[in-house]
Amino acid sequence: MQASLFHSSGENLLPFQGETIFYPEFLAKQSADHYFLKLKESLSWKQEPIKLFGKTVMQPRLTALYGNPDIPYGYSGIVMRAFPWTQELEDLKNLVEEKAGQEFTHVLCNFYRDGQDSMGWHRDNEPALGKNPCIASLTFGATRNFQLRHYETKGHKLDIPLSHGSLLLMIGESQHYWEHQLPKTKKVLGARINLTFRKIKR
């Protein structure tokens, strides 16, 4: 497969040190509507604790990990065991793999119940993801503002409204030089599902 072909329809949003490409209409509305309802009711959503500066706190969202159960994956002091792929997640994985031009082993699923659920500044740079990982982020439901900023300078802040059916690819050196977050908001009342496809090494 020729990597250059896959990103031809998208533009890099980062000014330097990484590539992040946004496809606002990756899925048609009807298809995105179908997946939102299906994923909401069928995935094993759970609120899990994480360790933050030595303290155990509950994550401000629900999560579920799917993929190869033989490869454990963890972040922020927790280890998650993956559930095997469901039909819907596998179908979406195939679509995303075609666009990204690479394969994924896992998908981390996030459920933001409303604007009060969030995710703080971080990089997806666990050693198990390898040097320049491709993180493919698929969104369903309420549009939320996704923010990126340069990790060292905390400058060059970008706001990307991740809409229903959109796909964001973070590739190259993105996870080395840029951090991202999904801040809380008083404006958003509806629920949002985000799937981040990842390739995890043993």
Ligand X SMILES: O=C(O)CCC(=O)C(=O)O
Report the interface residues with Fe ion, using CB under 5 A.
124
6 Rama class: left (phi>0) / alpha (psi -120 to 50) / beta:
alpha
Nearer to ligand X, 61 or 102 (CB): 61
Distance linking the first and last C-alpha atoms of the chain? 24
Q: Supply the minimum distance, in Å, between the C-beta of residue 180 and Fe ion.
A: 6
Q: Which one of residues 26, 36, 111, 146 is an interface residue with ligand X (CB under 6 A)?
A: 146
Instruction: State both tokens at 110.
Output: 């996030």
Q: Is 174 exposed, middle or buried (0-12, 13-18, 19+ CB in 10 A)?
A: buried
Q: Supply the minimum distance, in Å, between the C-beta of residue 8 and Fe ion.
A: 25
Nearer to Fe ion, 76 or 86 (CB): 76
Q: Supply the minimum distance, in Å, between the C-beta of residue 5 and Fe ion.
A: 26
Q: Supply the minimum distance, in Å, between the C-beta of residue 2 and ligand X.
A: 28
3-state SS class at 39: helix
Q: Nearest-5° angle of CA 27, CA 43, CA 182? A: 60
Nearer to Fe ion, 31 or 60 (CB): 60
Instruction: State both tokens at 54.
Output: 């030595």
Q: Is 172 exposed, middle or buried (0-12, 13-18, 19+ CB in 10 A)?
A: middle
C-beta of residue 144 within 8 angstroms of C-beta of residue 193: no
Rounded Cα distance between 5 and 101, Å, is 9
Q: Which residue is nearest to ligand X (CB)?
A: 194
Is residue 175 involved in binding ligand X (CB under 6 A)? no
Partner touching 175 among Fe ion, ligand X, none, CB below 5 to 8 Å by kind: none
Partner touching 111 among Fe ion, ligand X, none, CB below 5 to 8 Å by kind: none
Partner touching 169 among Fe ion, ligand X, none, CB below 5 to 8 Å by kind: none
Q: Which of residues 102-141 bind ligand X (CB under 6 A)?
A: 108, 110, 119, 124, 137
Is residue 162 involved in binding ligand X (CB under 6 A)? yes
Instruction: State both tokens at 139.
Output: 């969104």
Q: Which residues bind ligand X (CB under 6 A)?
A: 108, 110, 119, 124, 137, 146, 162, 180, 182, 194, 196
